[in-house]
Amino acid sequence: MEQTEQRINTLRRELERHNYLYYVQSQPVISDYDYDMMFKELEQLEKQYPMYADPNSPTQRVGSDVNVEFRQVKHQYPMLSLDNTYNESELADFDARVSKELAAAHRYVCELKYDGLSVSLTYRNGELLRAVTRGDGIQGDDVTANVRTVRSIPLKLHGGGWPEEFEIRGEIVMPRQVFEKLNIERIEAGEAPFANPRNAASGTLKMQNSAQVAKRSLDCFLYFLLGENLPATSHYENLQKAREWGFKIPFYASLCNSVEEITQFIAEWDAGRRSLPFDIDGIVVKVDDLSQQRQLGVRAKSPRWAVAYKFPAERVETRLDSISYQVGRTGVVTPVANLEPVRLAGTTVKRATLHNADQMQLLDIREGDTVFVEKGGEIIPKVIGVNPDKRPADSVPTQFITHCPECGSALLRNEGEAAWCCPNDRCPPQVKGRIEHFISRKAMNIDSLGEGKLEVLYDKGLVRDVADLYGLRREQLVGLEKILTGEDGNRRKIAFGQRTAENMLAGIKASVQVPFERVLYAVGIRFVGETIARKLARSFKSIDALAEATCEQLTAVDEIGERIAGSVADFFSREDNLALLQRLKQAGLRFTVDEDARGRKSDALQGKTVVVSGVFSIPRDDIKKMIEEHGGKNTGSISSNTDFVLAGEKMGPEKLKKAESLHIPIISEEEFYKLIES
């Protein structure tokens, strides 16, 4: 028996090594045949001796046919995104800011900006424990089963010296060749092709069947190590170490000491990127020294120590057939260019945004013009200029519409704003848009109402506002049907059977459990996005307190300025909004922070009073939130009631003295994580 176990371990080690040589180093040393023989032997042994099963065995890389729903997992460290720059002068601004803040010598690491989707991998004791997508940056989908099938991701690390537990982040990409082959297969099978390798990678990683994922040849480049006890204090050196542990860390990164060197790096890759086997959409510049990174800190969604430089977008010329006008959820009217279809960055473009009246006037865009169209990343293509040489002799200047194309109201323009708006908040797109926003994933997450069903309910007059959803009855729904015409011109029939109706009602009913912060986001107060809604909910704790808050109280909250405060006050001053909130309250939605039940992760800190002081590897607000999530209470000053002080770097000397004099325990960030994990 012992011999069997030994043989299994040897085979696993060998297979993982060959896997690494093939997929990470691109230097296989054995034939495919020999690899397959070893693989089969291991598979056979694992089948025969199930007690030696291991989720990180190389045999698990083929995935499983069992469909899984993704569990939502909270990131230990939020997954931030990057601010973009587009030219040398913006990069110079970034460097100036960094230099000013640090007032010390610093160097940068320049890396490629891989165009895929980011994942965070957690390793414990040298083995892959978990893989989570970015999601909203705070929590994402647990895609571990799918990630195990990505051959270049080590399931067990090589060498040694890694921290007991750490995270490593990177980008899952689909190489261009794989993408092209996949699309040919899809078209042959009558399926819609993916627009670009990034969408293909993202669609693949979110498939529920990992055996299918395994067949798609995804790759993964790692670029960011996080955790306690990292091997080095330099980002660059940490990556070199991570490479030794078996991660695919491309050799493209380069240390730079000045904006000139950064620009040089950019120029090289702007020219060279088309010969890479995968897509990149820019480069990333990071301050190398970790303590300098901490010193610079982070904003709500992006670090201050890094920035992206985006390559100029691809551009084509085509004819502008006509201009139409779209009314959005907030009433903003957007002019849209209907174009002679043209290929651009891998997709066919038929429509592009013209932004607003000012922009149209500035460019003097006219129907019949030949225009330049650009596409940057995932964003909707835009018209960026007119070719004057190709303007027809009989062309006439464009007049922006004066009345709403949906409801006929005269359009208005707020002072200082570029957009013309339909002032009628009963205008159908606004009404539908508000409901769509309300049910969206990050708001109430009622996905049983998606895919055109809401459209039907609206058109049949059953739903005129979000509170109507909670009064829907089964008998009103069963048997409803409607033919919808999609944007692509295709028609499809939506019909409500018993099952659909029941599903829908169950989804609506379940949504009353959604926590207050998301309800607050869902009701659609202007300028109150997810992050702001969260901050408001945590500060004011209930809708009633928020409704009564003065402008001063509102602006006292971090990141809330006068614009947002004004919008919040305006929202609560309107009778119709108050009436709607009243009806939602009656439907049972949460309008207070439920400190006890929801969001509670454990009782590890039950009854403990904690003082947080100093600088941490994550924003201090997040630390405080964690304390609450685990049952603890935050207070500002140390007293004999304090159970412990959670000290980051640079804890204030006064606090230190006081804690010591009162014999209050001081714990580190690392110890804190251990405490709440236990």
Catalytic residue list: 113
Q: With DSSP H G I counted as helix, E B as strand and the rest as coil, what are the percentages for the chain, rounded to 5?
A: 40, 20, 40
Instruction: Scan residues 508-527 and list those touching ligand IVH (CB under 6 A).
Output: none
- Single out the residue of 25, 81, 513, 641 in contact with ligand IVH (rule: CB under 6 A): 81
> Could you tell me the two tokens for 663?
């014999």
Nearest-CA neighbor of 676 among 616, 609, 631, 620? 631
In sequence order, the β-bridge partners of residue 282 are: 113, 310
The residue range among 79-87, 468-476, 530-538, 659-667 that interacts with ligand IVH, by the rule CB under 6 A, is 79-87
Tokens at residue 263, please? 């620009």
- The torsion angle over the Cα atoms of residues 288, 668, 245 and 46, rounded to 10 degrees, is -150
Question: Which residues have C-beta within 8 Å of that of residue 658, sequence separation ≥ 6?
Answer: 638
* Nearer CB in complex with ligand IVH: 242/336: 242
Tokens at residue 511, please? 């949504």
The nearer residue to ligand IVH, 85 or 318, going by C-beta atoms, is 85
Q: Which residues contact 13 (CB under 8 A, 6 or more apart)?
A: none
Distance (Å, whole) CA 277 – CA 271 = 14
How many angstroms separate the CA atoms of 483 and 492, rounded?
A: 6
The nearer residue to ligand IVH, 45 or 195, going by C-beta atoms, is 195
Min separation Cβ 293 and ligand IVH, Å: 9
Residue nearest to ligand IVH (CB): 118
The smaller minimum CB distance to ligand IVH, of residues 296 and 522, is found at 296
To ligand IVH, the closest distance from the beta carbon of 239 in angstroms equals: 10
Of 73, 82, 226, 568, the residue at the interface with ligand IVH (CB under 6 A) is 82
* Burial of 409 (C-beta count, 10 Å sphere; 0-12/13-18/19+): middle
Task: Tally the C-alpha atoms within 13 A of residue 589's C-alpha that lie toward its C-beta.
Answer: 29
Q: Does 672 bind ligand IVH (CB under 6 A)?
A: no
Mark the segment that binds ligand IVH (CB under 6 A) among 75-83, 349-357, 434-442, 609-617: 75-83
The per-residue DSSP string of 627-644 comes to HHHTT-EEESS--TT--E
Nearby residues of 93 by Cβ (< 8 Å), 6 or more positions away: 85
Q: Which residues pair with 482 in a beta bridge?
A: 494
Q: Which is nearer to ligand IVH, 140 or 335 (CB)?
A: 140
Q: Which is nearer to ligand IVH, 306 or 383 (CB)?
A: 306
Residue listed under structure tokens 């049972």? 588
**CB-CB contact of 646 with 670 (8 Å):** no
User: Residue 557 in contact with residue 536, Cβ under 8 Å?
Assistant: yes
d(CA 479, CA 446): 21
Nearest of 475, 469, 409 to residue 439 by alpha carbon:
469
* Residues in CB range of 94: below 8 A, 6 or more apart: 85, 285, 307
Of 505, 506, 480, 474, which Cα lies nearest the Cα of 494? 480
Determine if 171 is a binding residue for ligand IVH (CB under 6 A).
yes
For the CA atoms of 387, 388, 393, 398, the dihedral, rounded to the nearest 10 degrees, stands at 80
* Residue 114 makes contact with ligand IVH by CB under 6 A: yes
- 618 contacts 562 by C-beta, under 8 angstroms: no
CB closer to ligand IVH, 8 vs 80: 80
Q: Minimum CB separation from ligand IVH for residue 90, in Å?
A: 15
| Smallest gap from residue 273 Cβ to ligand IVH (A) | 13
**117 or 363: CB nearest ligand IVH:** 117
Q: Which is nearer to ligand IVH, 302 or 635 (CB)?
A: 302
Pick the binder of ligand IVH from 108, 223, 325, 521 (CB under 6 A): 223
What is the spatial distance between Cα 556 and Cα 571, in angstroms, rounded to a whole number? Answer: 19
| 111 forms part of the interface with ligand IVH (CB under 6 A) | yes
Q: Would you count residue 224 as binding ligand IVH (CB under 6 A)? A: yes
Reading the block at residue 189, the tokens are 């099978």
Taking the complex as a whole, the smallest distance from the CB of residue 76 to ligand IVH amounts, in Å, to 14
Among 42, 266, 308, 647, binds ligand IVH (CB under 6 A): 308
573: alpha, beta or left? (left if phi > 0; alpha if psi -120 to 50): alpha
Q: Which residues, numbered 359-388, are part of the site for ligand IVH (CB under 6 A)?
A: none
Counting contacts by CB under 6 A, is residue 230 touching ligand IVH? no
Least distance in angstroms from the C-beta of 467 to ligand IVH: 37
DSSP H or E run through 19: helix 2-23
In the window 285-304, what residues touch ligand IVH (CB under 6 A)?
Answer: 303
| Type of residue numbered 474 | R
Structural tokens at position 664: 């209050």
Size of the site for ligand IVH (CB under 6 A): 14
What torsion do the CA atoms of 89, 90, 96, 102 make, to the nearest 10 degrees? -150
Cβ-proximal residues to 241 (8 Å cutoff; 6+ apart), any chain:
161, 162, 225, 231, 232
Torsion 603-230-223-11 (CA) sign = negative
Output 242 or 537, the one with its CB closest to ligand IVH. 242
Q: Which listed residue (98, 131, 249, 284) binds ligand IVH by CB under 6 A? A: 284
Q: Is 220 in the site for ligand IVH (CB under 6 A)?
A: no
Candidate segments 30-38, 106-114, 504-512, 528-536, binder of ligand IVH by CB under 6 A: 106-114
The three-state secondary structure class of 529 is coil
Considering only the stretches 110-118, 330-338, 400-408, 614-622, report the one whose residues sit in contact with ligand IVH under the rule CB under 6 A: 110-118
- Binders in 118-147 for ligand IVH, by CB under 6 A: 118
Yes or no: say if 402 and 416 are a contact pair by the CB < 8 Å rule. Answer: no
CB of 670 to ligand IVH, least distance (A): 20
Contact stretch for ligand IVH (CB under 6 A) within 113-121, 391-399, 453-461, 610-618: 113-121
Of the pair 118, 254, the CB lying nearest ligand IVH is at 118
- Name the one range near ligand IVH by CB under 6 A: 13-21, 108-116, 153-161, 409-417: 108-116
Q: Taking CB under 6 A as the rule, does residue 98 contact ligand IVH?
A: no
**Per-residue binder mask for ligand IVH (CB under 6 A), 397-436, x = binder:** ----------------------------------------
Q: Judged by CB under 6 A, which stretch of 85-93, 111-119, 393-401, 513-521 contacts ligand IVH?
A: 111-119
Please identify, using beta-carbon distances, which residue of 111 and 374 lies nearer to ligand IVH: 111
Nearest distance, CB of residue 294 and ligand IVH, angstroms: 12
Q: Which residues bind ligand IVH (CB under 6 A)?
A: 80-82, 111, 113-114, 118, 171, 223-224, 284, 303, 306, 308
